[in-house]
Structure formats: C-alpha cells, structure tokens
Structure 1
Amino acid sequence: MSAALDDSGLVERYLEHVRVEKRLARRTVELYAIDLRKLSDFAATANVELLRVQNAHIRRWVAQMHSRGRSGRGIALILSGWRGFYTWLGREGRVQSNPVQDVRAPKAPKPLPKALAVDDSVQLADWHDESADPWLEARDAAMVELLYGCGLRVGELVGLDAVASTTARGWIDLEAGEAHVLGKGSKRRSVPVGRKALQALQAWLPLRAADAKHADQPALFTGRHGTRLTAQAVWQRLKQRSMKAGLATPVHPHMLRHSFASHLLQSSGDLRAVQELLGHANITTTQVYTRLDFQHLAKAYDAAHPRAQRKAGKA
C-alpha cells in the first residue's frame, strides 16, 4: 500500500472515530475533514508521510498559512484538529510523540484604539445644540471637554464631585486648573484642565447649583433627578451628541480618551508625559499610540510627498 493511501486510510479511520465514538456533530466532523485534508496536502508537498511528520514541519506549515493571510484564530482551530488527530494516533500506537503538541498559532495583532481626527474632535467639542435644554446642553458640553481635553476615563468622569472633600473620589480645582481623579488600581493623579474645559465647567456649575435636587448630591455630573450620572448614561448622551454634530461615526467616551492621547503625542512626541496624563502604570500601554501617530504620519506622507505618488500605470 502506498504512503498516500495509507495516510488517507488513517484520516478516514480518525474521522470515523470522532463521528461514532466521540459522537461529534456532523458539521464538526466536516471541519475536521477539511483541516486534515490540508494537513495531508502539506505532507504530500513535503514528501513526508503523516506518521513521520515532525514538529519542524508543523511550524513551517503554520508559518506558510500565516504568510498567506490566515488569521491567528483560524490557524489555532486548524492546529486543534491536527493535535487531536495525532493524539489519537498516539493512543493507537502509531506515533511516539505528538508533533503539534507545543505549537501555537501566531498571536493576532491587537487592534488599534479608535481615535477621531483632530478636525472631528474639535467639531464635536465646539458643537452646541441650540434647540436643547440649556441645562442638559451645558452639562454635556462640559463632559465632552473633560473627556477630550483631559483624557479622562468615563469612570473617572462620573466619579468627580463638585467640591473637594475627604470622601470624594475626584474633583476639579477650578482655581488651579486641575482635575484630581481616582484611576485604575485606586491610583490618584492630577491632570491639567484646559481653558475651554474650564469655561464649560463655569457655564455648567451655576446651572447645577440652581437646581434644588442637587442640594445634597456631591456629584459633579448628575441627571435630571439629581442622582450621579452613570457611565452608561454618558455613553448614550455622547453617542447622540456626536451624531447630531454630524460626525460620520458614533463616538464613545474612550474614543475621546484615545483622541486626547493620539493628538497630544502627535503634537509633543513626549511619550512619558502622555503616560503620566493617562495614568498608565506601564509605558507599553501608552506605546500603542505611537502606532496611531505613525499611521497619521504615513497618511500625510502618502498624500503630500512627491515620491509617494505613483503615476497611473506605473508599478
């Protein structure tokens, strides 16, 4: 019997095993068959029998799949099928070791955080809804300015109190132009509050104080019933506001934090300063914004540099 036929027979026996003895679903068995056909094709191309496949072969084939655009998740599923096949072969006494045992799929690249373009961020921050309730408009405008102007997390924003106290999680020092917040890991930090954010707060605070429902409520940002605003409510208000302001994509609070970091890094190039302002414990967390910054530079290069522009029909 040829090696190819022998390999085919092994695959068929394994598929029968998972279908009958393990009672796997029909679709699962079909997917196993596809993955094992791929394994057989790789082995045939390398002129090696399935029973003689080594760890180095598996690693090479993983690299080939990855270079052809197969996702890390897709490769992980294929490896799972191959690993099960060789585990069965080991129990059958056909192989002495599993060549797939310590092989892992390539890690999928972490998606870049979504950040707005500078113009879109300014458009959102400058936008005012003339038809809205002045109370709600002043409150929402102040929230946007703090999220984009200070890079606050939404939890830090809703945790702010109107007045500093020993029990406050965070507060705004208008005179010093600083926001004092309680971040992740219960770590406190202070960040500067820009002129526009201070103006928005000075417009909001008198309206907040004039509402009797806020007499005993320390929260800086509240709802109409006088209770502290929730993170979910901020998400909803910001989404509505961004759509009304004419932005192409709904904006969420963390997108404004990403925009703050990206735009600050583009302007200053000071990664350590951005790390401190964001309250990141590890600078590797902040370094993701250098990728956003590079994207910005690459787009500018492609659009403006004469050596980046190719004539039609030229390779």
Structure 2
Amino acid sequence: MKRYLTPAERHLLFNAAYKANDDLAQRDYHLMSALYYSGCRISEFLAVSLADAWDALKTNYLYIPAAHRKGGKQDHSVLLTKPLRMHLVALLNMNPSQNGADPLITGRFGEALTARAVQLRFRHWATEAGITLPVSPHWMRHTRAMDILRSSEAKEPLLIVKSALGHSNLNSTAIYAQPSREEIERELEAMDGRGGQRTTRAQLRRAYRRRVG
C-alpha cells in the first residue's frame, strides 16, 4: 500500500488549508478532515445531503445507502467520532440552505461540488504543504485504514478496518496487511545503517528518465 499519508504528512496537508484565512480554505480543511475521519469514498461523501447530516447528528451514525456506494449492493454506517462530528457540524454551518435535499458540500457559488473539483483542491493543498506525492481524496480512505492499523489495540485490527471502511469481504481489506513504506524503509535502513527521506517510485522513474534522456 503506497497511496496514503503518514501522520506527519497528513498534518502538513490539513494545516496548509487550516492556516489559510478564507472561507474556501476552511471548507477544504473540514472536507479533507471529514473524508479522513469517515473513511468514505469521495463519491459517497459528496452524495450526503443536509438531511443526511442532520440525521447523523441525531443518531451518531452517518448512513450511506447502497445506491451511493461502490457496487451499489451494501449500505454502510459511519460512527460519528468526536472529530468527525466537529467537522460535520462545521460543514453544516457553512451551508446556508435549509432544504434537506440539498447537498451538504457545495461550491463557492452554491453549486453541487464535483469529485474532480475536490481532486484539484487536494492537489492545490498538497502543493501548498510541500508534499510531492500525487495526493487525491481517496488517499484519505487509505490513510484512515493505515492509521487504524498503527493505533488499534484490537486482537484483529484488520476487522476494525473492514468495519470502518464498510468492506463486504475481508479480501478487500487485506491490502492494508502488506508492509507499509515506512516499515520497509525502517527495516532496510536498520540493516544498512543509512537514513533518507521518503521517495516515490514515480520520482525515481522521472529521475531515471532525466538521466538516461
């Protein structure tokens, strides 16, 4: 698994938007954070309506119907942990509409926000944060899974990840059981006694192509 951020990288990404003093940046900060804490796919979260969010605050669970999920076969419910609840409330407060059918997340002029628009915002904040990785909204889902595995004290942490992400099959969750980039680098550095910064294969490929012409 390579498409995730370390806790330090995630902090840099979120902080870049948080420090910017304008409404669009604050929307992006709360949206990125909500995607991380919910583990939702971007299509799932953009389909959340104001009524869905209001109900979530009442029930403490954000309900994602099967029709809004990949494959369209199984629904999912996301626990509103304290951070997720905070970011959800912030997003609600940014939306002036009182029509429950309206989308929770809108663009600057009230239009429905697209996944492509969110992808571009992620790239913008990654650049602002000095992150050279090709960060996308789906990285938040992977990052959430990797952080659960790092921190969980459960006997079977993969089962926690499976439930949190709403996987129907443990085989889908098994990708997170592979060694992380940090684990591989740590073990190799321990053997060879060298230090170094995280480098992606794409960066290595570009450097190679520049070298060989």
| Shorter-chain TM-score tier | 0.7 to 0.9
Q: For this pair of structures, how many residues does the alignment match?
A: 186
Q: Aligned to 1:280, what secondary structure does the other structure show?
A: coil
Q: Partner residue of 2:159?
A: 272
Once the two structures are TM-superposed, the CA of residue 180 in structure 1 deviates from its matched residue by: 1.6
Does the 8 A contact of 1:145 with 1:200 survive in 2? yes
Deviation string 1:175-207 (CA, Å, 9 cap, x unpaired) is: 444322232233211122333332233233223
Partner SS, residue 78 of structure 2: strand
Q: What pairs up with 1:92-107 in 2 under 5 angstroms?
A: none
Task: Tell me by how many angstroms 1:287 deviates.
Answer: 0.4
Runs of 4+ with deviation above 4 angstroms: 129-132
The answer as to whether partners of 1:138 and 1:204 remain within 8 angstroms in 2 is no
> SS of the residue aligned with 1:185?
coil
* Higher RCO by CA contacts (8 Å cutoff, separation 6 or greater): 2
Contact 2:60–2:79, Cα closer than 8 Å, also in 1: yes
1:121: which partner in 2?
10
1:254 positional shift:
0.9
The offset of 1:292, in angstroms, is 4.0
RMSD: 2.5
Report whether the alignment pairs 1:201 with 2:88.
yes
**Residues 103 and 112, structure 2, Cα contact 8 Å, conserved in 1:** yes
Cα deviation digits, residues 151-174 of structure 1 (max 9, x gap): 11010010011113xxxxx77612
Residue identity (%)? 28
Q: Structure 2 matches for 1:49-60, cutoff 5 A?
A: none
What is the rounded CA distance, in whole Å, between the counterparts of 1:292 and 1:139 in structure 2?
34
Partner Cα separation in structure 1 for residue 193 and residue 98 of structure 2: 65
The residue type paired with residue 40 of structure 2 is L
Paired residues of 2:18 and 2:26 also in contact (CA < 8 A):
no
SS at structure 1 position matched to 2:95: helix
Give the Cα separation in 1 of the matches to 2:55 and 2:184: 38
Which sections of structure 1, spanning at least 5 residues, go unmatched?
Answer: 1-111, 165-169
Give the Cα–Cα distance (whole angstroms) in 2 for the partners of residues 127 and 172 of structure 1: 31
* Alignment-derived partner of residue 186 in structure 2: 300
d(CA) in 2 for partners of 1:193 and 1:256?
Answer: 16
Q: Residue 231 of structure 1: CA displacement?
A: 1.0
**Residue type of the alignment partner of 2:43:** G
Is 2:28 aligned against 1:140?
Answer: yes
Matched, 1:289 2:176: yes
> Counterparts of 1:116 and 1:259 in 2: how far apart (Å)?
6
* Match among 119, 122, 136 for residue 235 of structure 1: 119
Q: Higher Cα Rg: structure 1 or 2? A: 1
**Structure-2 separation of matches of 1:223 and 1:244:** 20
TM-score (norm 1): 0.53
Please state if 1:161 is matched with 2:49. Answer: yes
1:302 is displaced (CA, Å) by: 3.5
Q: Counterparts of 2:93 and 2:193 in 1: how far apart (Å)? A: 58
**Change in CA separation of 1:251 and 1:171 when aligned onto 2, cut-off 3 Å:** farther
1:256-302 deviation line (CA, Å, top 9, x unaligned): 11111112122225111211221222211110111144x43333334
Counterpart of 1:301, as a letter, is E
Give the distance between the partners of 2:193 and 2:29, measured in 1 at CA: 44
Distance in 2 between residues matched to 1:207 and 1:218, nearest whole Å: 13
Q: 1:225 to 1:310 in 2, by over 3 A?
A: closer
Q: How far apart are 1:131 and its partner, in Å?
A: 4.4
Distance 1:289 1:226 in 2: 37
Distance 1:157 1:278 in 2: 13
Out of 125, 132, 140, which is 1:256 matched to? 140
When residues 129 and 141 of structure 1 are mapped into structure 2, their CA distance, relative to the original with a 3 A threshold, is closer
Is 1:138–1:203's contact at 8 Å kept on the other side of the alignment? no
Task: List runs of 5+ in structure 2 lacking aligned partners.
Answer: 195-213
Q: Partner letter of residue 115 of structure 2?
A: A
* 8 Å CA contact retained: 2:40, 2:165: yes
SS of equivalent residue, structure 2 residue 130: coil
Which of 169, 173, 180 does residue 56 from structure 2 map onto?
A: 173
CA distance in structure 2 between the aligned counterparts of 1:259 and 1:130, rounded to whole angstroms? 22
Counterpart-to-counterpart distance in 1, 2:13 and 2:80: 18
